[in-house]
Amino acid sequence: MGRGVPYRNVEGYPDPTAHKAINNAIREERRRDARARRAMENLRRLADELGFEIVNRIELRDRYTGKIFK
């Protein structure tokens, strides 16, 4: 299996429920990461358009997960 989570468990039996659940969690985390990246890009673009530059690190915290993006 190339990408994602293996379809079979450690004993070698198919485990489609766990496979699907873990892949869904990974997909959701990637979506949140993409949202944070998009927010940072928009902040930089807005500052630039208004004639400002960002001089310090910006940190964003996801309200749902509490994960901090720098």
pLDDT of 38 over the 80 cut: yes
**Domain ranges within the chain, ordered by starting residue:** 16-69
What pLDDT was estimated at residue 37? 94
Joined together, the tokens standing for residue 30 give: 């990637």
Check: pTM over 0.75? Answer yes or no. Answer: no
